[in-house]
Amino acid sequence: MGMNQPPPPPGGQYPPPGQPVGPPPGVDPNAGAYPPGQPGYPPQPDPNAGAYPPGQPGYPPQPDPNAGAYQPQPDPNAGAYPPGQPGYPPQPGYPAPVKKSKAGLIIGLVLALIIVGGGVAVALVAMGSSNKTSPTVVGPSGTATPSKTGTGGQAKQPDRGDFKAVYEAPASAKYQELATTIKQVRFMELLAEWLNESLALPTDVKVAMAECGQPNAFYSADKKAIVICYEMWEFAAQLLDSSDDIGNALLFLFVHELGHAVIDLYQLPVTGREEDAADGAATVIMIAGDSPEIVVSAAKFFDSLSTRRVELNFADEHSLDQQRFYNMVCWLYGSNPTKYKNLVTNGTLPQARAERCPDEYKQLERSWDKLLEPYIKN
């Protein structure tokens, strides 16, 4: 028995035999029904284009909305790194300072001396109004020329001598330019004038530049002379990067030798190493003269010097370079713990040493005040 044919689909008859049932080829009966991205479905525009944050997986790289907005910032700690920190100087990522010419170093040093000398003179002496006989400056040719008239006041002890500037011509050709420039800017005369206004002397003392055969600065008790060697200028420039630090370190070394000189000239008692006492004298004079940057540069000098030592000389009359570095940092901190607290907080000065530094500095200051008081022109 034959079966009845099913009713035709709505809207038309059955397709011819062999033709698939459904919409015409190429027409997706579910167009709009499949969510974008289904297999076999043509790529659809991203409905969230612009909504994905840049950098999501599969999303095209977006332009940086802050491109050009970031600017290199100056180092907020520039100048705040204490000497002796790893990598100092210079700090990683910062260009090393350009070293200046010899003439530039000398001029910078002389300017520092003029500025610092005034502060140190205030530390050493309340300036008086009495004049004294103009001292003599001996040039390299042996001729004598008068220096400026001193303006220091009267000390308790008699003033029977003067500091006198002396320039010894170097034998080595490489120091000729340096020697000429130092003489032209009257570097040693400036030192002599500053000291003559501050201290009464029992005899004349030379402040001299000389070639020594090695980097050095020293006081000769036999010749009554404070000598800065031409080689020391060159050596300091190898250890330090900036002309300010080089000039400051040389000034500290000179005042260190002045410490030896006054110990000898005034027959001052010393109950420990004289080298440590001279470091203490130079530190107190510079800090009291409102020139702590001199002490900072000197500390950098000895910290840098310590890295060049092949072996340690425990028999030397000087403390080890690192010990001198820590002493100077300690005394600087001790002079004003609030101002220099960063030396402790950043780890430059160990806390255990820092606790003693205020008392150490007070003892240094009190001792040198008492020892030098009779010879200060006030």
Angle, CA 178 vertex, CA 324 and CA 207 arms, to 5° = 60
Cα separation, 256 vs 374, whole angstroms: 20
Place of tokens 């940086």: 64
pLDDT at 164 over 60: yes
For residue 305, give both structure tokens. Answer: 């010097």
Is the pLDDT assigned to residue 57 strictly greater than 70?
no
Q: Tens of pLDDT along 210-268? A: 999 999 999 999 999 999 999 999 999 999 988 899 999 999 999 999 999 999 999 99
Question: Residue for token digits 């070639």?
Answer: 211
Range with lowest mean pLDDT among 125-139, 312-326, 345-359, 362-376: 125-139
Q: What is the mean pLDDT of residues 269-291?
A: 94
Start-to-end CA span in the chain (Å): 145
What is the per-residue pLDDT for 25?
Answer: 57
The one-letter code for the residue type at 3 is: M
* Lowest-pLDDT range of 5-19, 74-88, 147-161, 358-372: 74-88
Residue 214's Cα: distance from chain center in Å? Answer: 25
Q: How many CB atoms lie within 10 A of CB 174?
A: 11
Q: Shortest CA distance to 331 belongs to which of 288, 373, 369, 376?
A: 288
Closest CA to 268 of 375, 166, 340: 375
pLDDT tier, 29 (very low <50, low <70, confident <90, very high otherwise): low
pLDDT band at 19 (very low <50, low <70, confident <90, very high): low
Find all residues with CB under 8 Å of 150, minimum gap 6, and list them: 131, 132, 134, 135, 162, 193, 196, 197
Taking the C-alpha atoms of residue 299 and residue 292, their distance in angstroms, rounded to an integer, is 11
* Tokens 């020139």 -> residue: 291
**293-311: pLDDT as tens digits:** 999 999 999 999 998 876 7
Convert 285-315 into a string of H (helix), E (strand) and C (coil): HHHHCCCHHHHHHHHHHHHHHHCCCCCCCCC
**The amino acid at 125:** V
Helix (H) or strand (E) holding 166: strand 163-167
Q: What is the distance between the alpha carbons of residues 157 and 34, in angstroms, rounded to a whole number?
A: 108
Positive or negative torsion for Cα 107, 217, 221, 156: positive
Alpha helices in 43-200 (DSSP H): 102-124, 176-184, 187-196
- Identify the three-state secondary structure at position 47: coil
My answer on whether omega of the bond before 90 falls inside 30° of 0, hence cis, is yes
Alpha carbons 61 and 50: distance in angstroms, whole number: 11
C-beta separation of 189 from 111 below 8 A: no
Sign of CA dihedral 330, 332, 338, 339: negative
| Nearest 10 degrees: Cα torsion 32, 34, 39, 43 | 40
Predicted model pTM: 0.65
Q: What is the pLDDT of residue 87?
A: 34
Mean pLDDT of the chain: 75
pLDDT at 132 over 50: no
- Dist CA 332 CA 269 (whole Å): 24
Pick from 10-19, 172-181, 182-191, 314-323: least confident:
10-19
Q: How many residues does the chain have?
A: 378
